[in-house]
Amino acid sequence: MAAVSAMVSIGGRPSWSIRVARVFLVVAAVIVLAWLLVLPLIAIFAEAFRQGWAFYRDAISQPDSIAAVRLTLTVAAIAVPLNVVFGLAAAWTMTHFNFPGKALLGALIDLPFSVSPVVAGMMLILVYGKYGWLGSWLEAHGVQVIFAVPGLVLATVFVTLPFVARELIPLMQAQGSEQEEAALTLGASGWQIFFRVTLPRVRWALLYGVLLCNARAMGEFGAVYVVSGHLRGLTNTLPLQVDQLYQENFSAAFAVASLLALLTVLTLGIKRLLEWRHGEALTGR
Amino acid sequence: MRRHVLSGFRLSTGYTLAVLGSCVLLPLAALLWTACELGPSGWWAQIGTRRVLASLRLSFGAALLAATIDVLLGLLVAWVLVRYRFALRRVCDALVDLPFALPTAVAGIALTALYAPNGWLGSRLVPLGIEVAYTRLGVLLAMVFVGLPFVVRTLQPVLENLESDLEEAAYTLGASSPQRFIRVVLPLLLPTLLTGYALALARAIGEYGSVVFISGNRLFRTEIAPYLIVLKIDSQYDYRGAAALGAVMLAASLVLLVAMALLQRWTHRWAIAR
Amino acid sequence: MGIDISRLRRQFGQFAALDDVSLTIADGEFVAVLGPSGSGKTSLLRILAGLDQPDAGSVYRDDEDLLALDARRRGVGLVFQHYALFPHMTVAQNVAFGLRVRPWRLRPRASVVKARVEELLRRVELESFASRYPAQLSGGQRQRVALARALAIEPRLLLLDEPFGALDAQVRVNLRRWLREFHRSLGITTLFVTHDQEEALEMADRVVVMNRGRIEQIGTPEQIYRYPATPFASRFIARGQPLPGDVEGGILRVLGHAWPISGFATDGVSVITVHVRPEDIVPVVQRREGWSANVLSVRPVAGTIRVGLHVAGLDEPLEAEWSERDWLRHRVEVGETIGVHFQSLTLFGSDGEGRVHARTEVHPPHGTSPITVGPWRRLEA
C-alpha cells in the first residue's frame, strides 16, 4: 500500500503511528467494498457463464427473454420521458415561485423514495385494480391497468418519480432566477426563457437524472412484481423474468441477470463520466 | 395573490400536481381509506397474527441493525474516499453506487448464490457454523448491502466541505488527531450521520428484491413484511390484510420522512453558522 | 415627460421596503438612487423593471401606465448587479438575445440583428470579443456586455443595479468615467442604484437618497453634499458627525461654547441635531481659541490627511480631514493636544418622530461674537 498518502497533512510529516492508522483504514475500506459490492457483481457473471457461452446465448435469446427485454425497453421509454417532464415542471414550480404549501409539495415529490416499492404497487392495485376505486370505471371503458403494461408504467413512474426533480431542484435553486429575469426584461416569453435559458443550463443535470431514472426504471422489481401478475411473455420485465427463471433454471436466470448487471455497470460508468466532465454543471458551483 | 413575474406557474404546477395526484396521492389515499375502513379492531385482526408480527419484528429489527452497521461502514468508506489518495480510489468511489443502481432482484440472486451452502462463500462459512443464506443473518446482509450507498453519499459532500480549515483550527489550538476527529469532526457530522441512518433505514425496511431470495421466506423465521404483502396480494387476494400491513410500513416511512426534514433543518442551522 | 413614480409602497411581511416613494425623472436624465443595503433601492429598481409589483402606488411613462405592462413588454433595460449573462451563449449571442426572442412579426432579419450587435459591441468597445463566452471575460468586460445586451432592445429606460459593485477599485473608477460619457452620448433616461456616495455624487445629474424605504432627499450632487436635508443624508453622504448641541432661548450651545443666535424659528421642533463634516474641523493657531483636542491618529489618504481627534467632552472620536497644505502648516503629531475650530455646523430641527422641520448651516465665529443666520430653511413635511 505504498500508494496510500494523506491528503490532509497537517503540520508536515505525519507520525509513524498515524501513517499506520491511515493504511489500516484504507485497507479496511477496500475490503468492505470488495466483500460487500464487488463479490456479488463477479458472482453474477461467473454464474451466468458457468455453463458456457452457447448456453448463455440461448438463455438470453429465448423468446420469453426477448419479450422481457422488449417490455423493459417499452416501459422505460414511456416512464422516463414522463418523469423528465415531471422533473422539469416540478423544478420550475419549486424554484421560481413562492406559494403556500410549497414545503409540502417538496416533501410529496420526495415521498416515493421512502415508500416501500411493494407498498407502492399495492396502493396502485387499490386504485386501479379490478376491485379498486377506479377499477370498475376502467373496466367499463375497456382499459386494463393492473396486470398490464399501463400498470407497469404507473408502478415504474411511482418509484422513479423523484429522480429527475431531485437533480434539478437543488441545481436550479443554486442558480437562482436572475438569468430568467434578465431574459424576461429582454422580452422573452415563458417558453423562450425555458428553452433558451433554463434548459441549456441544466442539461447535464437533466441527463444525469435521466440516467439514474432509467437505471431504476429498467431494474425495478418490487413495485412491478406486485402489479404485473407475472404473465410470462406478456407482463414480465427483465427483473421479473430473472425471478421466474431463478425458480426453474438457475444459470439462465443469471444469464438474463447479467444483462441487467451490464446495464448497471454502463450506467455507473456514464455517471462517473458526467461527474468528471461536468461536475460543476451538476451542482451549480 | 401577487401576480407571478415569471410565467408558467399554472402549467408547471398543474402538471406536477396531476402526476403527483394520479401516481402518489390517489394511491396513498386509497391505502389510508382501506386501512381506516378496517377500524382498529379489524386492523389488529390483520396485524396481530403471529406470522405478521414475526415479519414486522424481523423487518424493523434487521433494518435498525443494518442501518447501524451501514453508518459505521459508511463512515469508514466515506472518510477514506474523501481524505486519502490511493490507487483504486476512483474505482472504489464509483462502486459505492452499485447497490443503488443494481436491480434489486439481481442483487438478491447474486447474494444468494454467494452464500448458499454450495456457493463460493457459503461453502466455506457453513462448515464454520455460519449460515447466511435462508437465515436472519442473510436478511441483515442484504439490508446492509442496499443501505450502504445512502450513508456514504450523504456523508461525502459534508466531509469534503468541512475540509481542513476547521481541523487546522483545532490543530493550532493543540488538539491531537483522535481528539480532532472526536471533538470537531464527529459532532459536525452528527446530523449528516443521522440523515444517512434514516435513509438507509427507510430503504432497508421497505426493501423487497434484494432480501426475498436470500431470506428463503421460512415461516415465522425469515419472512419480511414486504414479502407478506406480496403473498397476501399474489396468492391470497387478501387486499385488506395487505393494506393493513402496508399502512404500518407507510406510517414508518412517513415518520422517517418527517425525521429527515427535521434533521435537514438542524443541518441548515449549522450551515449558516459555518 | 419622463417617468412619474407616485406613492409606491412595497411591504415584505412587517418590513416596509418602499414606504410612500414618489419621484419624477426627466427624459434623458441620469439619476442615482443612493442608500445603504436594505434601504429599498433595489425594490424600487425591480418594480420599475417589472420583476416585482408594488402593494400601492403608480408608475407612469408619458401617460402610459407602466405597472400594467408585464416585464416582457415594458421596454426597460436592466443591468443586473452580477450581470446575469447567459453563460452558455457567446457575447454576440447574449447581446442578440433580446432581438431574437421577439415575436416573429417584429423580429429583425438575421443580417439586421448582426449589424445591430456589431454596432453595440463597438460602442461598448468589445467588438473583438464577440465570439467569447462570458466566463472568458474580465469583470469590467462582462459589465459592458450586460450593458450592450440591455441596450439592444432599445429601452426607453435603463436601470443599473449596483453597476460597479462587483468590480475592483481601479476598474471601477475607469468604468465610472466611461459610463458617464456613454450616457451623455446616448441620452437615454437612466437610473442606477448604489450604496457608494462617491459613485452617486460623481456620476449622477440628480441623486435620490433613500433610507428605510423612504426618500430622504432629492437633489443635485452639490445640493446634497452641501445642504443635506436630514441627519441621515448628512451622515451618509457628507460624513457628518454628530456633536452634542442645543438651541435654547436664543443661544446655540455646542460642547461648552455658546453663541447668541438670532433669526430662526423652532416651531414644532423638539430635537436639535448638530453635525460637523470632517473638512470643517480645522486646526487653529492659537490653542486657546476653539476646542482642545487630542490627536489619536494621522493617516494620509489620497491627497488628504485624515486625523482622528479626541475632543474633550465627546465619547466618540471625531475625524477631521485636512489638505496636505494645512497639515504641513501645523504638523500635528499623534499624542499632541491641539486647538480645533468647527468652521461650519449643520443644525437640524426635528420633531419627536424624527421628521426634520428645519435645517440650516451656521459658521461659528472664533470667540463668542453672536451668529446671525438667515431664517431657518423650512422644509415641507
Which residues of chain A are within 8 Å of residue B233 when distances are taken between CB atoms? Answer: 121-122, 125, 226
Contact A197, B6 (CB under 8 A): no
Distance from CA of C155 to the nearest CA of A (A): 9
**Average pLDDT over chain C, rounded to an integer:** 86
Measured CA to CA, the distance from residue B258 to residue B198 in angstroms comes to 10
Which residues of chain B are within 8 Å of residue A158 when distances are taken between CB atoms? Answer: 23-24, 27
Which residues of chain B are within 8 Å of residue A118 when distances are taken between CB atoms? Answer: 206, 208, 226, 229-230, 246
pLDDT digits (tens, 9 = 90+) for C10-29: 998 888 899 999 999 999 99
pLDDT digits (tens, 9 = 90+) for B130-172: 888 889 999 999 999 999 999 999 999 888 877 666 666 766 7
Task: Determine whether the interchain pair B92/A90 forms a contact, defined as Cβ–Cβ distance below 8 Å.
Answer: no
Which residues of chain A are within 8 Å of residue B246 when distances are taken between CB atoms? Answer: 116, 118-119, 122-123
Q: Provide the pLDDT for residue A28.
A: 93
Q: Is the pLDDT of residue B175 over 60?
A: yes
Q: Is the pLDDT of residue A7 over 70?
A: no
Which residues of chain A are within 8 Å of residue B262 when distances are taken between CB atoms? Answer: none
Phi, psi of C257 (to 5 degrees): -100, 145
Which residues of chain C are within 8 Å of residue B5 when distances are taken between CB atoms? Answer: 50-53, 70-71
Within 79-108 of B, beta carbons closer than 8 Å to A belong to 79-88, 90, 92, 94-99, 101-107
For residue C263, the SS3 value is coil
Query: Which residue of A175, A185, A189 is the best one to mutate when testing the C interface, meaning the one whose CB has the most C CBs within 10 A?
Result: A185
**Average pLDDT over chain B, rounded to an integer:** 86
Q: Provide the pLDDT for residue B274.
A: 39
Distance from CA of B76 to the nearest CA of A (A): 6
Grid cell, residue B60, equals 424493523
- The share of chain B scoring above pLDDT 90, in percent, equals 43
CA-based nearest residue in chain C for residue A199: C88
Which residues of chain C are within 8 Å of residue A181 when distances are taken between CB atoms? Answer: 49, 51, 71, 78, 80, 84
Task: Determine whether the interchain pair C50/B2 forms a contact, defined as Cβ–Cβ distance below 8 Å.
Answer: no
Q: Provide the pLDDT for residue C331.
A: 79
Q: What type of residue is A283? A: T
Q: Provide the pLDDT for residue C249.
A: 75
Task: Determine whether the interchain pair B26/A97 forms a contact, defined as Cβ–Cβ distance below 8 Å.
Answer: no
Measured CA to CA, the distance from residue C98 to residue C120 in angstroms comes to 13
Helix residue ranges, H only, C197-283: 197-203, 221-226, 231-238
Contact C62, C1 (CB under 8 A): yes
Grid cell, residue A207, equals 441527463
Q: Provide the pLDDT for residue B27.
A: 92
Among B2-6, B52-56, B127-131, the range of highest mean pLDDT: B52-56
C150–A contact, CB cutoff 8 A: yes
pLDDT digits (tens, 9 = 90+) for C76-104: 999 998 899 999 999 999 999 999 999 88
Distance from CA of C70 to the nearest CA of B (A): 8
Strands across the sheet containing C157-161: C76-79, C157-161, C190-194, C30-34, C206-211, C214-219
Measured CA to CA, the distance from residue C37 to residue C78 in angstroms comes to 19
The closest of A35, A197, A169 to A97, measured between CA atoms, is A169
Contact A217, A73 (CB under 8 A): no
pLDDT digits (tens, 9 = 90+) for C240-297: 999 988 887 778 888 878 877 776 666 677 788 899 999 888 888 766 667 888 999 9
Widest pairwise Cα distance in chain B: 73
Q: How far apart are the first and last CA of chain B?
A: 36
With both helix axes pointing from N to C terminus, report the angle between A162-175 and A63-96 in degrees, rounded to the nearest 10. 30
Measured CA to CA, the distance from residue A209 to residue A171 in angstroms comes to 12
Within 18-77 of B, beta carbons closer than 8 Å to A belong to 19-20, 23-28, 30-31, 33-34, 73, 76-77
- A9 versus A56: which is more confidently predicted? A56
Which residues of chain A are within 8 Å of residue B87 when distances are taken between CB atoms? Answer: 3
Which residues are bridge partners to C275 per DSSP? Answer: C242, C346
Contact A164, A88 (CB under 8 A): yes
With both helix axes pointing from N to C terminus, report the angle between C110-123 and C139-152 in degrees, rounded to the nearest 10. 140
pLDDT digits (tens, 9 = 90+) for C37-58: 888 999 999 999 999 999 999 9
Q: Provide the pLDDT for residue C371.
A: 63
Among the partner-chain residues C50, C53, C71, the one whose CB lies closest to the CB of B2 is C53
Which residues of chain B are within 8 Å of residue C51 when distances are taken between CB atoms? Answer: 5
Q: Sorting pLDDT into bands at 50, 70 and 90, what band is A139?
A: confident
Helix residue ranges, H only, C11-67: 41-49
Which residues of chain C are within 8 Å of residue A185 when distances are taken between CB atoms? Answer: 49-51, 71-72, 74, 76-78, 150
Which residues of chain B are within 8 Å of residue A191 when distances are taken between CB atoms? Answer: 8
Contact A102, B192 (CB under 8 A): no
Query: Which residue of A39, A85, A123 is the best one to mutate when testing the B interface, meaning the one whose CB has the most B CBs within 10 A?
Result: A123
Q: Is the pLDDT of residue A133 over 80?
A: yes
B242–A contact, CB cutoff 8 A: yes
B231–A contact, CB cutoff 8 A: no
Which residues of chain A are within 8 Å of residue C101 when distances are taken between CB atoms? Answer: 183, 186-189, 192, 196
Q: Provide the pLDDT for residue A160.
A: 94
Measured CA to CA, the distance from residue C364 to residue C290 in angstroms comes to 10
Task: Determine whether the interchain pair C52/B3 forms a contact, defined as Cβ–Cβ distance below 8 Å.
Answer: no
Q: Provide the pLDDT for residue C370.
A: 62
Q: Provide the pLDDT for residue C368.
A: 56
Task: Determine whether the interchain pair B95/A38 forms a contact, defined as Cβ–Cβ distance below 8 Å.
Answer: yes
Within 9-48 of C, beta carbons closer than 8 Å to A belong to none
Kindly compute the dihedral angle of the four CA atoms of residues A73, A74, A80, A81, in this order, to the nearest 10 degrees: 130
Contact C124, C78 (CB under 8 A): no
Measured CA to CA, the distance from residue A174 to residue B107 in angstroms comes to 36
CA-based nearest residue in chain B for residue C70: B5
- C246 versus C142: which is more confidently predicted? C142
ipTM value, please give it. 0.88
pLDDT digits (tens, 9 = 90+) for B215-253: 888 888 889 999 999 988 888 788 888 899 999 999 998
C363–A contact, CB cutoff 8 A: no
**Average pLDDT over chain A, rounded to an integer:** 87
Q: Is the pLDDT of residue C374 over 70?
A: no
Which residues of chain A are within 8 Å of residue B88 when distances are taken between CB atoms? Answer: 30
Q: Sorting pLDDT into bands at 50, 70 and 90, what band is C133?
A: very high
Mean pLDDT value across residues B196-225: 90
C51–B contact, CB cutoff 8 A: yes
Distance from CA of C133 to the nearest CA of A (A): 14
- Show which subunits contact A, needing at least 3 CB pairs below 8 angstroms: B, C
Measured CA to CA, the distance from residue C188 to residue B114 in angstroms comes to 77
Phi, psi of B254 (to 5 degrees): -65, -40
C163–B contact, CB cutoff 8 A: no
Q: Provide the pLDDT for residue C26.
A: 93
Q: Is the pLDDT of residue C381 over 60?
A: no
- Show which subunits contact B, needing at least 3 CB pairs below 8 angstroms: A, C
Which residues of chain C are within 8 Å of residue A201 when distances are taken between CB atoms? Answer: 86-88
Task: Determine whether the interchain pair A179/C86 forms a contact, defined as Cβ–Cβ distance below 8 Å.
Answer: yes
Chains A–C, number of C-beta pairs less than 8 Å apart = 62
Q: Sorting pLDDT into bands at 50, 70 and 90, what band is A5?
A: very low
For residue B233, the SS3 value is helix
Angle at B237 between CA B231 and CA B243, to 5 degrees: 75
Q: Is the pLDDT of residue C154 over 80?
A: yes
Q: Is the pLDDT of residue A183 over 50?
A: yes
Among the partner-chain residues C76, C82, C88, the one whose CB lies closest to the CB of A185 is C76
Number of Cβ within 10 Å of residue A139's Cβ equals 12
The closest of A164, A163, A168, A134 to A151, measured between CA atoms, is A134
Which residues are bridge partners to C247 per DSSP? Answer: C252
Among the partner-chain residues A37, A115, A189, the one whose CB lies closest to the CB of B250 is A115
How far from the centroid of its chain's Cα atoms is residue A70's Cα? 18
Q: Sorting pLDDT into bands at 50, 70 and 90, what band is C165?
A: confident
Task: Determine whether the interchain pair B2/C51 forms a contact, defined as Cβ–Cβ distance below 8 Å.
Answer: no
Q: Is the pLDDT of residue B257 over 80?
A: yes
Q: Provide the pLDDT for residue C286.
A: 66
Mean pLDDT value across residues A31-38: 91
C202–B contact, CB cutoff 8 A: no
Contact C269, C349 (CB under 8 A): yes
Task: Provide DSSP, A53-115.
Answer: HHHHHHHHHSHHHHHHHHHHHHHHHHHHHHHHHHHHHHHHHHHH---TTHHHHHHHHHHHHHS
Mean pLDDT value across residues B104-119: 92
CA-based nearest residue in chain B for residue A129: B239
Q: What type of residue is B266? A: W
Exposure string over C135-157, b if 16+ CB within 10 A, otherwise e: eebebbbbbbbbbbbbbbbebbb
Q: Sorting pLDDT into bands at 50, 70 and 90, what band is C380?
A: very low
Contact C12, C42 (CB under 8 A): no
C166–B contact, CB cutoff 8 A: no
